[in-house]
């Protein structure tokens, strides 16, 4: 059976009432490095999130970042740009608010809702103290 991104999005939307969450993109490293596309800074989601939830993400949110398999950096290196090792693979950064405690399925929301379909991101990390931790 072939599973499309639309099917994944529909399945996630069906789960939404049980564990609402909202996220906002605060950094678009692809735009910073390449400038070839419009910046995604300020993009919010998922579609079901209301403005109050998005505002909670902006003011109370936990930091996350979305990573690809390193393609973003290979392109920058090919263009002669320096790449910070600590940021290798990072495509987007943002803030998330979840109704449930950290560690719930909603924590994968930004990856499934935005990072994977928009850029092919494969990993999400959260800031814990002074380090990034992968889910």
Q: What is the mean pLDDT of residues 121-128?
A: 96
What integer pLDDT is reported at residue 87 of this predicted model?
92
**Distances from the Cα of 124 to the Cαs of 1, 27, 78, in angstroms?**
26, 14, 25
What pLDDT sits at residue 2?
63
As a whole number, mean pLDDT of residues 11-33 equals: 80
pLDDT of 81 reads: 87
pTM: 0.84
For 53-73, the pLDDT digits (tens) are 999 999 999 999 999 998 888
Q: Check pLDDT > 90 for residue 13.
A: no
Q: What is the pLDDT of residues 72-105, one digit of tens each?
A: 888 888 888 888 989 999 999 999 999 887 778 8
3-state secondary structure string across 74-120: HHHHHCCCCCCHHHCCEEEEEEEEECCCCCCHHHHHHHHHHHHHHHC
pLDDT above 80 for 10: no
């Amino acid at each position: 059976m072939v599973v499309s991104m639309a099917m994944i999005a529909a399945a996630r939307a069906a789960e939404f009432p049980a564990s609402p969450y909202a996220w906002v993109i605060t950094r678009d490293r692809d735009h910073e490095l390449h400038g070839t596309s419009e910046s995604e800074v300020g993009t919010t989601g998922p579609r079901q999130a209301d403005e109050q939830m998005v505002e909670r993400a902006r003011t109370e949110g936990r930091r996350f970042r979305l990573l690809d398999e390193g393609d973003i950096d290979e392109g920058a290196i090919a263009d002669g740009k320096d790449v910070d090792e600590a940021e290798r693979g990072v495509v987007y950064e943002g803030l998330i608010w979840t109704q449930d405690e950290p560690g719930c399925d909603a924590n994968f929301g930004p990856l499934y809702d935005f990072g994977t379909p928009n850029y092919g991101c494969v990993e999400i990390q959260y800031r814990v103290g002074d380090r990034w931790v992968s889910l």
